[in-house]
Amino acid sequence: MTTDLSTGIAARVIDAVKVYGTGDTEVRALDGVSVDFHVGRFTAIMGPSGSGKSTLMHCAAGLDTLTSGEAHIGGTELSALSDKRLTLLRRERVGFVFQAFNLLPTLTVAENITLPQDLSGTRADPAWTDTLIDVVGLRDRLHHRPSELSGGQQQRVAVARAFAGRPEVVFADEPTGNLDSQSGEEVLGLLGRAVHQMDRTVVMVTHDPVAAAHADEVIFLADGRLVDRMEGPTAERVLDRLKAFDHGRTRQEEVPT
Amino acid sequence: MSGTRASVRISLSSLRTHKRRFMGTVSAVLLGVAFLAGTLVMGDTLRASFDDLFDTASSGTDTVVRSSDAITTSDDAVGTRQPVDTGLLEAIEKTPGVAAAAPSIEGNGQLLDADGKGLGGEGPPTVAGNWIADEELNAYELAEGRAPRASGEVVVNRGVADQGDLKIGDTTTLRTPDPVQVKIVGLATFAGEDGLAQVTFTGMTRADAEKYLMPEPGLAATLVVRGEPGTSQEQLTQAVAAQLPGGVEAITGEAAGEEAMENNTEQFLGLFTTLLLVFSGIALFVATFSIHNTFAIVVAQRTRENALLRALGASRRQVLGSTMIEAGVVGLLASAAGLAGGIGIAAGLQALFPAVGFPFPEGTLVISALSMLLPLAVGVVVCLGSALLPAVRAGRTAPLAALRENTVESSGASRSRALTGTVLGAGGVGLAVLGALGGGAVLLTALGALLVLIAFVVLGPVASSSAIRALGAPARRMRGISGALAQRNALRSPKRTAATATALMIGVAVVSLFTVFASSLKATMDDTVSRNFAGDVAVSTPGFGDGGSGFSPRMEPEVRQLPEVDSALGLGNGVARIDGKGAALTVTDPGRLQSVMHLGEVSGSFQNFGTDGLAVSEQKAEDEGWKVGSKAELAFADGEKQTFTVRALYETSELTGDYVVTREAWEPHRTQESTRLMVVSFKDGVETGSGQAAVERVAQGFGNPDVQTRDEYIETSASTIDMMLTLVYALLALAVFIALLGIANTLTLAVHERTRELGLLRSVGQTRAQLRSMVRWESVMIAAFGTVGGLVLGGFLSWALVTAADGQSSTPFSFAVPPVQLTVVALVGVVAGLLAGWRPARRAARLDVLRAIATE
pLDDT at res. B565:
92
pLDDT at res. B215:
86
Provide the CA B345 distance to its chain's centre, in angstroms: 19
Give the pLDDT band (50/70/90) at residue A118.
confident
- CA–CA dist B853, A173 (Å, integer): 11
**A112: number of CA atoms within 13 Å, CB side?**
31
Amino acid at the residue B546 = D
Is B764 in contact with A58 (Cβ distance < 8 A)? no
Is A58 in contact with B850 (Cβ distance < 8 A)? yes
pLDDT at res. B358:
60
- CA–CA dist B234, B63 (Å, integer): 8
B404-459 residue pLDDT tens: 554 444 555 577 888 888 888 888 888 888 877 776 677 888 888 888 888 888 88
Looking at the predicted structure, is the pLDDT value of residue B1 above 50? no
pLDDT at res. B528:
78
Looking at the predicted structure, is the pLDDT value of residue B808 above 70? no
Q: Which domains does chain B have, with CATH numbers?
A: 60-265 (no CATH), 465-537+706-856 (no CATH), 542-704 (2.40.40.20)
Query: Which of A104, A149, A168 to probe the B interface (max B CBs under 10 A)?
Result: A104
Give the pLDDT band (50/70/90) at residue B855.
very low
Share of chain A above pLDDT 70, in %: 93
Give the pLDDT band (50/70/90) at residue B338.
very high
- CA–CA dist B57, B480 (Å, integer): 71
Dihedral sign, Cα of residue B507, residue B508, residue B513, residue B519: positive
Is B761 in contact with A84 (Cβ distance < 8 A)? no
- Chain B residue numbers with beta carbons less than 8 Å from the beta carbon of A102 are 760
Is A121 in contact with B761 (Cβ distance < 8 A)? no
Q: What is the ipTM of this complex?
A: 0.81
Q: Residue ranges of the alpha helices (H) in B606-659?
A: 618-624
Looking at the predicted structure, is the pLDDT value of residue B762 above 70? yes
* Mean pLDDT for the stretch of residues B162-181: 90
B489-528 residue pLDDT tens: 888 888 888 888 888 898 899 889 888 988 888 888 888 7
pLDDT at res. A219:
93
The answer to whether B207 and B169 are in contact (CB under 8 A) is no
Which residues touch B478 (CB under 8 Å, ≥6 apart)? none
Instruction: State the pTM of this model.
Output: 0.78
pLDDT at res. A252:
45
Share of chain B above pLDDT 90, in %: 26
pLDDT at res. B757:
86
**Taking each helix axis from N to C terminus, what angle separates B23-58 and B316-355, rounded to the nearest 10 degrees?**
40
Provide the CA A257 distance to its chain's centre, in angstroms: 21
Looking at the predicted structure, is the pLDDT value of residue A248 above 60? no
B93-145 residue pLDDT tens: 999 999 999 999 988 888 988 888 888 877 678 889 999 999 889 989 999 99
pLDDT at res. A172:
92
Give the pLDDT band (50/70/90) at residue A99.
confident
pLDDT at res. A3:
41
Q: Is A156 helix (H, G, I), strand (E, B) or coil?
A: helix
- Chain B closest-CA separation from residue A257 CA (Å): 30
B725-761 residue pLDDT tens: 887 888 788 888 888 888 888 888 888 888 888 888 8
- CA–CA dist A85, A79 (Å, integer): 11
* Mean pLDDT for the stretch of residues A204-230: 91
Give the pLDDT band (50/70/90) at residue A68.
very high
B17-74 residue pLDDT tens: 777 777 777 888 888 888 889 888 888 888 888 788 778 777 888 999 999 888 887 7
B560-573 residue pLDDT tens: 999 999 999 999 98
Q: Give the chain B residue nearest A58 (alpha carbons).
A: B850
Is B768 in contact with A90 (Cβ distance < 8 A)? no
Averaged pLDDT score across all residues of chain B: 85
- CA–CA dist B503, B285 (Å, integer): 8
Give the pLDDT band (50/70/90) at residue B802.
confident
- Chain B residue numbers with beta carbons less than 8 Å from the beta carbon of A147 are 407
- CA–CA dist B79, B31 (Å, integer): 41
**Binding-face residues of B in 725-764 toward A, CB within 8 A:** 756-757, 760-764
Chains A, B: CB contacts within 8 A come to 69
Inter-residue long-range contacts of B724-727, CB under 8 Å, 24+ positions, other chains counted = B724/B518, B725/B514, B725/B515, B725/B518, B727/B275
Distances (CA, A) of A56 to A28, A134, A238: 12, 32, 20
**B585: number of CA atoms within 13 Å, CB side?**
31
